[in-house]
Amino acid sequence: MTTGEGGMARARWLTPGAVGATLRLGLINLKLLFGRHWWLFLLALLIWPAWLVLRVVMGWNDTPWQADQVQNMALTPPLILLAIYLGMSAFAFEIDERTIEGVFTVSGSRYRPWLVRIGTVVVFLLAADLLMAGLTWLFLADFPVVGVTANALIPVLLYFSLALMFSLLFKGAIPAGLTVSPLLLLNITVLAGATRGTRYNVFFNILDRPSDVDAALWQIMAVQNRLILLLVIGLILFYTVRLTDKRERLLQ
């Protein structure tokens, strides 16, 4: 493809009709992933912050909530479970329902349906993250909402991408869940504690700086950690989308 042809292809993607079609495709993907009542999943997420608020109201918390507790105690747990579910099912339900062949007949780029589905999930997870962060800020603790929300989303996207990749590698949602769940459990019980306060912690919390670490160094470690994780997420998603090229394997 020449430079001119590439520019024309990009221009076609940015036309109002193409943007509208992509948005409609994203809405269709939401309904495919969650059914007609996709908004109920957002409401279900409110159970976790509601429980945390109830603990405060009833006096079951020994100490008030601190800003450095929000990321990994209020936001990450329910979002990661939702992300794994979405990663398991986003592609796998097409395989399980034997409808994946229809996806290959979509006109245009063969990657477009998969990329739109991934984008839909990412936007949904971001919306859920912002919703929970807003409620936590209102009722539990004062914290920098933008920074904490962005930091909480990165490990969530990591486990989404892992579950998505395993769902295609093993051609099913259940095998993907059985593979990614032990990895999450290992990270929570062993790796997260062993790497706490280092740049290698998947759940790196920028507000939880050890007293013996300089603030400037901690900022550098935070940037390094997030850049590495974003690179890993990008590589996993790139490999996952390339797996959709193996049409014969997926149709077996």
Residue 13: per-residue pLDDT: 46
pLDDT one-digit tens code per residue, 121-148: 898 899 899 999 999 999 999 999 999 9
DSSP per residue, the chain = --HHHHHHHHHHHTSHHHHHHHHHHHHHHHHHHH-TTTHHHHHHHTHHHHHHHHHHHTT--SS---HHHIIIIIIHHHHHHHHHHHHHHHTHHHHHTT-HHHHTT-SS-TTHHHHHHHHHHHHHHHHHHHHHHHHHHHHT----HHHHHHHHHHHHHHHHHHHHHHHHHTTSHHHHHHHHHHHHHHIIIIIHHHTTTSTT-TT--TT---TTS-HHHHHHHHHHHHHHHHHHHHHHHHHHHHHTT-HHHHH-
Check residues 184 and 247 and name the one with the higher pLDDT.
Answer: 184
Q: How confident is the model at residue 107 (pLDDT cuts 50, 70, 90)?
A: low
Has residue 16 got a pLDDT over 80? no
pLDDT of residue 96: 58
The model carries a pTM of 0.84
pLDDT at residue 217 is higher than 80: yes
Q: Is the pLDDT of residue 252 over 90?
A: no
Mean pLDDT of the chain: 83
Model confidence at 46, in pLDDT bands (50, 70, 90)? confident
How confident is the model at residue 145, as a pLDDT?
Answer: 93
